[in-house]
Amino acid sequence: MCLITFAYKAHPKYKLILAANRDEFYARPTAIAHWWIDHPEILGGRDLEAKGTWMAINKNGRFAAVTNYRDIQNIKADAQSRGDLPVNYLLGKEKPSTYSRKVLNEGNKYNGFNLLTMDHELAHVSNYDKGVNLLDPGIYGLSNALLDTPWPKVERAKRSFGTLIKQPFRMEQMIEMMQDTQTAPDDQLPETGLDYEREKAISAMCIQTPDYGTCCTTALTIDYDGNVKFMEKSYPVGNRKEGAVSFEFRID
C-alpha cells in the first residue's frame, strides 16, 4: 500500500473514512480482498508470497494498514516481511499505542515502514521516526515517507478527499478519486534515490508503468454505530484481472 488518505473522527457520521492505493510489482502474487480461510475474522487482500497484508480489518473492529518507507540505499535483503505487522496486530489484543511501541523497539528487523493501527484509538508508527503518534481528529495523508509529508500526490489526494467527504458520497467515488494519474511538476518531485523517469512516474496518485504500479484501490468507512463498508477495485495490470468486491458487516 503506497498512498492512503483518511479522515479520523472528522465527519459527523463516520469514525473512519479511508481511500488507498496499493502499488506493487505486477508479478508479485496477490489475493483480492476476502475473508481469510485460516483467520476467518480478517477481511482484506493478501500477499501470497509472504502471506501478510497491506491493509485489513478484523470483525471486532481492529484495523491496520502498512506502507513502505522509501529508502533505496538501505534495503536489507534478509528483512522480515512488513506485511506481518498488520496481521500480528489484527490477531492480537494490544492497544494500538502498546503494539506500536513494541513494533518501534523491533523496527530494525524490517525495511522502512509506516504502520497505522486502530481500535478505540488510532496510532501511527514508523521505524524512521522516534516515537508513536496517537492521532487527533482530522484528515491525513500517507505515502512512502512519514505521515503527512507534503509530497505532491499526498497533498493532491488530501485535497480531493477533503472536498469529496464534505458532501454525500459513494464508495465508488472514493475509488474513482484515487485513479488520478497526473504526475508532479519536475520542481516538486521528491528525491528518494530513484532516477528521474521512475521518480516522475511514481509521483502520480495512481501509478502506471510497464512492470510496477497501482494494482488495486480500497475504500473503507466505519460509522459511529460500528457499521463497516469495504470496497476494493482491482486493475488489469500484469496478469491481474479487473474487478471489484464489496463487503458490509457490523463490528462484533
Each as own residue / partner, the long-range contacts of residues 13-17 (CB below 8 Å, 24 or more positions apart, any chain) are: 13/223, 13/224, 14/221, 14/222, 14/223, 14/224, 15/222, 15/223, 15/224, 16/63, 16/118, 16/122, 16/220, 16/221, 16/222, 17/165, 17/174, 17/220, 17/221
pTM: 0.97
pLDDT in tens, 13-32: 999 999 999 999 999 999 99
pLDDT in tens, 68-78: 999 999 999 99
Distance (Å, whole) CA 107 – CA 2: 19
Q: Is the pLDDT of residue 98 over 80?
A: yes
Number of domains the chain is built from = 1
CATH of the domain at 106: 3.60.60.10
pLDDT in tens, 37-96: 999 999 999 999 999 999 999 999 999 999 999 999 999 999 999 999 999 999 999 999
Which domain does 25 fall in, by range?
Answer: 3-250
| 3-class SS of residue 25 | strand
